[in-house]
Amino acid sequence: MRKVLLSFVTVLLTSLSLVAPTPASATGCTTRVANAAAAMATTTVWMAGDSTMANPGSTCPVGWATEFDSLFHSNIVVNNLAVAGRSIQTWLYEGNVTSTIGSNGECVLSSTAYSSRWQQMLTNMKAGDYLFIQFGINDSSATCPRHVGTGRYQQLMTMMAQAAQARGAHPVLLTAVAAITCSGSTAVRNRGFVSQTTAAGSATGSPVIDLQTLSVDYYNSLGLCPNNGDYTSGPVGQFFCNDHTHFEAYGARRIARLVTGALRTQNIPLAGSLL
């Protein structure tokens, strides 16, 4: 891609030189061409998810996607549109998911109009961009509007991945990052929708990062269990907010690095832009 861009810039500069502009106008033309080439070379990583990814509104929680941009070269721009408290369906159809459960066991939609955040992605996503999707925490609610059944979850994640692919972008699907739940001295998995995320990846040929397993294995490597329920001190307090789910800035950075590590080990091309 960079070779193509260099060739494009070379051809334009050569063409401009044949016009024999004045030195001042030549400088302006060269700058505009260089700026255009830089814009074309920029890749946007779009982030769709919940509070475990979202930008912080206060000191804690800090979503791991907040820390993502700093791990890449300047050709990568992260646009984090994760929002706290959202299921995949409320994120997609903000304000149009009712509190009524229909006969099919799913929350009834008052309208199928997409949220402004998803419309923004669909409008601005370009070929070569990436779309990271991680839900599955709020979706497990038994009540609407956050409730999402397993079949519906898989359907919506598949739809989002296909929408990215239709624009020439690359979806990356993630299982939900784990909270810290201990069984004796061992941290254990505690999120659902894992098989549905994997199935959506298979259906669309998209890579799936099993962040739930990666995070649980990491918690165990740090010896965060057993835990007496105190989330304010020690290694657990450094990693988590005053609950067992959300991250302090330190924890968010560690989770972000688990994701970038997976980019490398799974040979996802975006890894080539990591610092």
Q: What is the mean pLDDT of each run of 10 residues along the chain (275 residues)?
A: 39 40 52 51 96 92 96 98 98 98 98 98 98 98 98 98 98 98 96 98 98 98 92 93 94 98 98 98
Q: What Cα–Cα distance (Å) separates residue 23 from each residue in 9, 29, 31, 35, 126?
A: 19, 10, 12, 18, 35
Question: In which residue are the tokens 């359907």 written?
Answer: 155
Residues in contact with 43: Cβ distance below 8 Å, sequence separation at least 6, in sequence order: 75, 76, 77, 128, 129, 130, 270, 273
**Integer Cα distance of 86 and 26 in angstroms:** 51
Residue 186 bridge partners (DSSP): 183
Helix 150-166 and helix 194-204, axial crossing angle in degrees, nearest 10: 30
Buried b or exposed e, range 92-120, using 16+ CB within 10 angstroms = bbbebbeeebeeeebbebeeeebbebbee
Residues in contact with 188: Cβ distance below 8 Å, sequence separation at least 6, in sequence order: 181, 182, 216
| β 186-187/182-183 pair status | antiparallel
**Phi/psi of residue 98, each to 5°?**
-85, 175
Q: What is the pLDDT of residue 57?
A: 83
**Integer Cα distance of 255 and 274 in angstroms:** 15
